[in-house]
Each structure stands twice: as C-alpha cells, then as structure tokens.
Amino acid sequence: MIKQAIYGVATVGALASFVFGRDVVSYARTWGSSVRQTVKREVPLDFEVARARELVEQLIPDIRNCMHVIAEQEVDVENLTGELARKEGDLATQKEVILSRQTELKSGQASYPIAGQTYSADQIRTDLAKRFDRFKVAEETQKKEKQVLEARQKALTANREKLDNMLAAKTDLELQLEQLEARLKMVQAAETISTVSIDDSQLTRTKKLIRELNKQLDVREKVMATDGKLTDLIPATTKSAAPKDLEAQIEAHFSPKAEASDSKPEQKVVKLDALRP
C-alpha cells in the first residue's frame, strides 16, 4: 500500500514536471499558497474568534510561571537581606574588638589579662593581625553579597514589571475579544436582515399565497351568505280562489241586525238578574 502511494506521488510529480517543466516548483508553491488562502477564507469567523480566545487562555500558564518565579525571588531576597544584616552585625562586633585590641597595644603593656588568662603583647598583635585579615575577607564577601542582592532585587523588579505587563496585556486582549465578538454579532445580524431584504422572491411568493388564501375564504363566505338567504325564505303557498258572494258575506256580518242579535242574550241575562231576590 505504501509502495503504491509512493509510486502514485512519483507519477504525479513526473507528470507535473513534464507539463510545467522548470516552473513546476513555482506552480506548486503558488497552488499551495492559493489553497491555504482559500481554506483560511472558508473558516468561519466564530471559529477564529474562539481560537483567539483559546490563545489568550494559553497565556495563563506563562503568567502562573512568572508568578512562581517572582515568589521564589522574593524569598531569596528576603533571606539574603536577613543574612547580610546578620553579617553586618558580626562585622561591627569584629571592628570593635580590633579597635579595642589596637588601643591596648598602643598602651605599651608587656602582658594583657583577657578572660582569665594572660597574653603577651606579641600574642595580642598576632591575634589582632588574624582578626584584621578575617575582617577584610568578611567585608569583601559582604560587598559581593550586596551586589548579588542588588542584582536579585533588579531581577525581581523586572519580573514584577513583566508580570504586570502580561496581566495588562491579557486584560486588553480579553477586552478586544469582547469588542470583536460584539462587532461580529452586529455584522451577522445586519447580514441576516440584508439577506431577507435582498431575497424577496420567497417573500413575494408568501404574500401571494396569503392573498390567494384570503380570496378563497372570501369566496366561501360569500357562498355561505347566499345559501343562508335561500334557506330563510318563507315557503310559498297555493293561492285559493275567493268566494263569489264575499261582499254579501261581509255586509251580512257587519249589518246592524247582526249586531242586535248578538246583544239580545246579554239583555235577557240582565233582567233575570234583576228579578232575583
């Protein structure tokens, strides 16, 4: 399988060399650059913003490492400062002893009682020379240690400034990312609105469909209204022929004799009532 892949690559290379000749390298380089640019343009901006935020988050380990270094340097400076202070006290004590012995030698005594023992002038002079040599060595050592302390203090100050700059840069980058995300959302919202306004074919079809539906409903309502009018009509009846003596019947019904005959039974009822005890 690997041999086939190698043969395939070699075949493609040979074919490209045959087609493009000496310019095959230039064509390959240009093609690779074009492919990279095309792929990069196809990457969504949301992904790029997320990648930038991840890069900012990757600064945290460096910041923590810098904080750890600063803490170690602070401890070293504190310890060295305390050690130098102790040594300065020792040098001050040694200086007092040296000056005291020198004063004793200047007195010209033959012997000197010290701590319950007696020492000759030569012994005091020899001891004084040793003490003075040790004092000079300790003094020179202290000078170098002071220089070391100053260098460490400078390094500590530089690292503190570096940490402050890293924290400020991280905060600034986070702010820029927030602003970038806000701009991206605004652009995406504007693109959405622009897309809707430009692509009005779908909008036109939707409006047309709604108009057609409203028209169909209007037609159905009209039909229902017409059906209601037809069903609410009073049914027609067959006309009956009027009697030929209709006028005579009306005159006989409303004549005075008919009215009198209708009122006689009422008068008789009144008279009977009057005769009753």
Domain boundaries, the chain: 1-42, 46-178
pLDDT at 269: 44
Domain 46-178 has CATH 1.10.287: yes
Looking at the predicted structure, is the pLDDT value of residue 83 above 50?
Answer: yes
pLDDT at 268: 46
Quick one: angle between helices 24-42 and 2-20, nearest 10? Answer: 110
Residues 6+ apart with CB under 8 A from 143: none
Which uninterrupted H or E stretch holds 114? strand 111-114
Question: Using 50, 70 and 90 to split pLDDT, how confident is the model at 71?
Answer: very high
The 10s digit of each residue's pLDDT in 119-153 is 888 888 888 899 999 999 999 999 999 999 999 99
The span from the CA of 272 to the CA of 53, in Å, is 124
Least confident among 38-42, 64-68, 114-118, 170-174: 38-42
The span from the CA of 146 to the CA of 134, in Å, is 18
Is residue 127 helix, strand or coil?
helix
Of residues 177 and 233, more confidence is placed in: 177
Average pLDDT for residues 33-39, to the nearest whole number?
54
pTM beyond 0.75: no
The span from the CA of 256 to the CA of 264, in Å, is 13
pLDDT at 276: 46
Average pLDDT for residues 151-171, to the nearest whole number?
93
Quick one: angle between helices 200-231 and 121-198, nearest 10? Answer: 50
CB atoms within 10 A of CB 101: 19
Question: Using 50, 70 and 90 to split pLDDT, how confident is the model at 250?
Answer: confident
Looking at the predicted structure, is the pLDDT value of residue 67 above 70?
Answer: yes
Looking at the predicted structure, is the pLDDT value of residue 31 above 80?
Answer: no
Cβ distance 152 to 112 under 8 Å?
A: no
Cβ distance 77 to 152 under 8 Å?
A: yes
The 10s digit of each residue's pLDDT in 196-241 is 555 557 667 777 888 888 888 888 888 877 765 555 555 555 555 6
Which uninterrupted H or E stretch holds 111? strand 111-114
DSSP label at residue 245: T
Looking at the predicted structure, is the pLDDT value of residue 19 above 60?
Answer: no
- 127: closest CA among 115, 143, 144? 115
Of residues 162 and 229, more confidence is placed in: 162
Of residues 259 and 132, more confidence is placed in: 132
Q: What is the mean pLDDT of the chain?
A: 76
